[in-house]
């Protein structure tokens, strides 16, 4: 049956390495992990079983672009699949939910954050699920390069919704990450399938190029490969715009692509690249995840990638048709400080951690409610590390998540309220009347008053939300919800704030050191005098790659000696007041105290933080004035001056 489905639905006459073992494990009712290189066909490992399993396959995916590309593939093959995502209208999302409830859908794709959504949880609890698929599953591991705290909750979600088995998919898991993934989902060692990371058709080339010469070298390189599909990776959005413009002016048509563009524009550019109307994309890492274009002949890293894992993912988009493809790094150390500064910006200040702990201790009745955006601004901790902080507090037994809800629901009638009421009788009519009469109406929209409904009518919040969803499904109202509020139970009322703050700050500093080490490991790879293909495979635990591939720049006799970054003027000659005076003045006016050395350093290095956004720091003289200097050096200078 498996082979017949493979041929009839997907049109393949055989499996790629590892696919059959992963698929048979899932069909036989076991959880499994498929760890294959980018472009090796991981998606088939859930797509084929989804057709043979009795109930829905729920796929958790980290990027909208990844979902859309896989959905397009599934639709081409006549498979009933859909996604629920932030780009959809309320009506579209409701239609998808109805198809899932009816059993029409075989595959539903969501982001992990969707599982915290109160309305989605009500819905998914009513749908039988055969398989949970976690794409980019390395995000589960704190040892991974792209750790996402919400992924830590997936094992609990699987239990809550009674999902019997899990399939983990990733291309970039080192041995410690694989062990972590396996343990979190209790996957048997024999069902962890790895196929090796060496790809014989990829020519790994590292070329030392001074920063001032990179544009010229890029034009020469791509100009000699006219018409060949290419992706050029850069670090910053402004660089993507500048490089694309320069290529176009030099006779190499190219389009920029980055997360700062409107969604529709990004979609259009991606479609044009996929169907060959655009041959060259200059992109940040927002582009490429899950892009299933088989004939990409060139991947160029104009700027250094963030890590060896990122590099492996990004070059993995080349040559999926098996034909030779070139992966070029224009390497120097010029942008090293920029890469490192991204890391330093994610380390919370000690005062911010302490502020979060004070909030928890003061929570009334042992229940702590928060809105992530507001807490991020209040504590000056970026949303992602703030999520990590909350997960660490869970792991230490300080708090436990209970549920999340939208603080505000509002609706507008699509039929007259009287017509809606006439649909019900008895106790149900009384309940619906309570919703209608207690929801304050302004012109068009009615805001639901949950407190009044409970106090006056003992109407439970969950029942009200279910009713509103049902009304919308019937086309009687249009429903909107906003202000996601997360509710935690405080498990320990007494804890030593100073000691715990120091402990958590040390944890983040350790993570910071690990990420910085990851950057330097990547530099060591690029400057290696050993076969690059073999070094890359060994990093991921693959000992089967040849010792000399014969087609990387090292095997071809070109060991890269990376040029040092241009010397920078001494900070001792800089005027602290000229660079920081305006910022300090605005900071003190808002906070009533001078900025810490960390806040000053982030301002001078141009590193985003919630408080800097609130202060509109980008418009203050001195912002990012020292962005090319190492963070630690700027911090030491700021501490000495302040």
Q: In which order are the strands placed within the sheet that holds 255-257? A: 202-208, 325-331, 298-301, 230-233, 280-283, 255-257
Contact between 542 and 198 under an 8 Å Cβ cutoff? The reply is: yes
What does the alpha-carbon distance between residue 526 and residue 213 come to, in Å, rounded to a whole number? 18
pLDDT of 46: 96
**Residues contacting residue 76 through CB under 8 Å, at least 6 positions apart:** none
Confidence of residue 338 (pLDDT cuts 50, 70, 90): confident
The residue-averaged pLDDT of 171-175 equals 87
Confidence of residue 289 (pLDDT cuts 50, 70, 90): low
What does the alpha-carbon distance between residue 207 and residue 1 come to, in Å, rounded to a whole number? 50
Give the DSSP letter of residue 487: E
pLDDT of 23: 96
Closest among 333, 298, 315, 325 to 214, alpha carbons compared:
333
Contact between 123 and 117 under an 8 Å Cβ cutoff? The reply is: no
What does the alpha-carbon distance between residue 324 and residue 296 come to, in Å, rounded to a whole number? 10
Closest among 151, 131, 156 to 141, alpha carbons compared:
151
Taking the CB of residue 382, how many other CB atoms lie within 10 A of it? 19
Confidence of residue 319 (pLDDT cuts 50, 70, 90): very high
Please write the tens of the pLDDT for every residue from 589-608.
998 989 988 899 999 999 88
Rg of the chain's alpha carbons, rounded to an integer? Answer: 27
What does the alpha-carbon distance between residue 327 and residue 420 come to, in Å, rounded to a whole number? 62
Contact between 186 and 166 under an 8 Å Cβ cutoff? The reply is: no
What does the alpha-carbon distance between residue 134 and residue 184 come to, in Å, rounded to a whole number? 12
Span 202-333+514-539: which CATH code?
3.40.50.300
The residue-averaged pLDDT of 230-234 equals 95
For residue 282, what is the enclosing H or E element? Answer: strand 280-283
Flag whether pLDDT at 620 surpasses 80.
yes
Confidence of residue 299 (pLDDT cuts 50, 70, 90): very high
| Of the listed ranges 25-29, 42-46, 264-268, 293-297, the one predicted with least confidence | 264-268
Write the burial class of residue 494 (CB in 10 Å: 0-12 exposed, 13-18 middle, 19+ buried).
Answer: exposed
Degrees (nearest 5) of the Cα angle 239, 245, 249?
A: 145
The residue-averaged pLDDT of 326-354 equals 89
Q: What are phi and psi of 406, to 5 degrees?
A: -85, 130
Pick 291 or 446 by higher pLDDT. 446
Residue that has been written with the tokens 């989902």 in this structure: 185
The residue-averaged pLDDT of 613-631 equals 91
The residue-averaged pLDDT of 386-404 equals 86
- Cα-based distances in Å from 208 to 205, 530, 558: 10, 16, 10
Confidence of residue 341 (pLDDT cuts 50, 70, 90): confident
Beta-strand pair 280-283/367-370:
unpaired
What does the alpha-carbon distance between residue 331 and residue 525 come to, in Å, rounded to a whole number? 11
Pick 594 or 142 by higher pLDDT. 594
* Residue-level length of the chain: 642
Q: Which tokens hold the place of 159?
A: 């239990």
Query: In angstroms, how far is the first alpha carbon of the chain from the final one?
Result: 72
CA atoms within 13 A on the CB side of 59: 31
Q: Which tokens hold the place of 74?
A: 């599934």
DSSP of 391-404: HHHHHTTSEEEEEE
The residue-averaged pLDDT of 21-39 equals 93
Flag whether pLDDT at 406 surpasses 70.
yes
Cross-strand bridge partners of residue 369: 487
Confidence of residue 336 (pLDDT cuts 50, 70, 90): confident
The residue-averaged pLDDT of 544-572 equals 91
Helix, strand, coil percentages for the chain (3-state, nearest 5): 50, 15, 35
Confidence of residue 562 (pLDDT cuts 50, 70, 90): confident
What does the alpha-carbon distance between residue 262 and residue 64 come to, in Å, rounded to a whole number? 14
Q: Which residues of 504-516 are buried (b: 16+ CB within 10 A; e: fewer)?
A: bbebbeebbeebb
Taking the CB of residue 528, how many other CB atoms lie within 10 A of it? 18
Q: Which tokens hold the place of 157?
A: 């979600």
pLDDT of 642: 66
Does 2-194 carry CATH code 3.30.360.10?
no
The residue-averaged pLDDT of 387-397 equals 88
What does the alpha-carbon distance between residue 83 and residue 92 come to, in Å, rounded to a whole number? 10
pLDDT of 22: 96
Give the three-state DSSP class for 505. helix
Confidence of residue 514 (pLDDT cuts 50, 70, 90): confident
Contact between 471 and 432 under an 8 Å Cβ cutoff? The reply is: no
Closest among 197, 198, 166, 196 to 182, alpha carbons compared:
166
List every span in the chain annotated with CATH 3.40.50.300: 2-194, 202-333+514-539
Contact between 405 and 481 under an 8 Å Cβ cutoff? The reply is: no
DSSP of 116-185: G-HHHHHHHTTS-EEEEEETTGGGG-TTSTT--GGGGGHHHHHHHTT--EEEEEES---HHHHHHHHHHT
Contact between 38 and 312 under an 8 Å Cβ cutoff? The reply is: yes
Confidence of residue 65 (pLDDT cuts 50, 70, 90): low
Give the DSSP letter of residue 595: P
Average pLDDT taken over every residue of the chain: 89
DSSP of 16-69: PTTHHHHHHHHHTT--EEEE--TTS--THHHHHHHHHSSSEEEEE-S-HHHHHH
For residue 621, what is the enclosing H or E element? Answer: none
pLDDT of 287: 64
What does the alpha-carbon distance between residue 496 and residue 484 come to, in Å, rounded to a whole number? 30
- Cα-based distances in Å from 162 to 54, 155, 371: 14, 11, 28
- What SS3 string covers 311-361? HHHHHCCCCCCCCCEEEEEEECCCCHHHHHHHHHCCCCCHHHHHHHHHHHH
Span 405-488: which CATH code?
3.30.70
Give the DSSP letter of residue 323: S
Write the burial class of residue 272 (CB in 10 Å: 0-12 exposed, 13-18 middle, 19+ buried).
Answer: middle
Flag whether pLDDT at 290 surpasses 60.
no
Contact between 192 and 35 under an 8 Å Cβ cutoff? The reply is: yes
Pick 514 or 354 by higher pLDDT. 354
**Residues contacting residue 214 through CB under 8 Å, at least 6 positions apart:** 302, 330, 332
């Amino acid at each position: 049956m498996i082979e017949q489905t493979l041929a009839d639905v997907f049109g393949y006459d055989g499996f790629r390495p590892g696919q059959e073992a992963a698929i048979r494990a899932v069909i036989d009712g076991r959880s499994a992990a498929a760890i294959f290189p980018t472009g090796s066909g991981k998606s088939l490992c859930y797509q084929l079983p989804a057709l043979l399993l009795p109930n829905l396959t729920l796929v958790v995916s980290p990027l909208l672009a990844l979902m859309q590309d896989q959905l397009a593939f599934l639709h081409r093959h006549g498979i009933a699949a859909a996604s629920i995502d932030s780009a959809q209208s309320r009506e579209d999302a409701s239609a998808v939910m109805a198809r899932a409830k009816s059993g029409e859908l075989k595959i539903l794709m969501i982001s992990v954050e969707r599982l915290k959504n109160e309305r989605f949880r009500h819905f998914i609890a009513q749908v039988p699920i055969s398989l949970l698929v976690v794409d980019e599953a390395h995000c589960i591991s704190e040892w991974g390069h792209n750790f996402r705290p919400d992924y830590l909750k997936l094992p609990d979600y699987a239990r809550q919704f009674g999902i019997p088995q899990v399939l983990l998919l990733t291309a970039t898991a080192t041995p410690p990450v694989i062990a972590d993934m396996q343990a979190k989902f209790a996957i048997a060692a024999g069902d962890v399938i790895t196929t090796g990371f060496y790809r014989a058709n990829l020519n790994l080339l590292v070329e030392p190029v001074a920063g001032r010469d990179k544009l010229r070298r890029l034009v020469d390189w791509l100009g000699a490969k006219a018409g060949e599909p290419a992706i050029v990776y850069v670090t910053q959005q402004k660089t993507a715009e500048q490089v694309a413009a320069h290529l176009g002016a030099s006779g190499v048509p190219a389009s920029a692509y980055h997360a700062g563009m409107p969604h529709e524009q990004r979609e259009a550019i991606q479609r044009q690249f996929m169907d060959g109307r655009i041959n060259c994309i200059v992109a940040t890492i927002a582009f490429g995840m899950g892009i299933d274009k088989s004939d990409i002949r060139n991947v160029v890293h104009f700027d250094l990638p963030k890590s060896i894992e990122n590099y492996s993912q990004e070059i993995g988009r080349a040559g999926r048709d098996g034909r030779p493809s070139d992966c070029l790094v224009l390497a120097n150390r010029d942008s090293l400080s920029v890469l490192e500064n991204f890391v330093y910006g994610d380390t919370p200040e000690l005062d911010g951690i302490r502020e979060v702990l004070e909030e928890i201790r003061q929570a009334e009745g042992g229940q702590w409610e928060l809105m992530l955006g507001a807490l991020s601004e209040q504590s000056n901790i970026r949303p992602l590390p703030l999520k990590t902080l909350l997960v660490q507090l869970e792991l230490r037994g300080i708090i436990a998540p209970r549920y999340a809800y939208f603080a505000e629901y509002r609706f507008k009638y699509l039929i007259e309220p009287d017509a809606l009421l006439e649909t019900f009788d008895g106790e149900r009519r009384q309940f619906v009347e309570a919703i209608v009469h207690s929801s304050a109406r302004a012109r068009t929209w009615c805001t639901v008053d949950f407190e009044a409904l409970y106090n006056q009518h003992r109407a439970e919040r969950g029942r009200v939300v279910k009713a509103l969803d049902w009304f919308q499904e019937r086309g009687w109202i249009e429903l909107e919800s906003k202000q996601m509020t997360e509710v935690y139970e405080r498990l320990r009322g007494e804890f030593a704030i100073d000691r715990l703050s120091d402990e958590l700050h040390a944890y983040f500093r350790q993570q910071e050191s690990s990420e910085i080490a990851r950057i330097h490991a990547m530099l060591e790879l690029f400057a290696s005098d050993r076969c690059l293909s073999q070094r890359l495979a060994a990093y991921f635990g693959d000992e089967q790659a040849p010792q000399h591939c014969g087609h990387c720049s090292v095997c071809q006799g070109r060991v890269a000696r990376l040029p040092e970054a241009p010397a920078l003027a001494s900070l001792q000659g800089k005027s602290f007041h000229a660079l920081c005076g305006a910022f300090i003045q605005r900071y003190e006016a808002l906070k009533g105290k001078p900025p810490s050395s960390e806040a000053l350093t982030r301002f001078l290095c141009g590193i985003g933080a919630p408080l800097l956004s609130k202060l509109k720091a980008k418009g203050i003289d001195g912002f990012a004035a020292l962005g090319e200097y190492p963070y630690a050096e700027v911090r030491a200078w700021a501490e000495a001056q302040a």
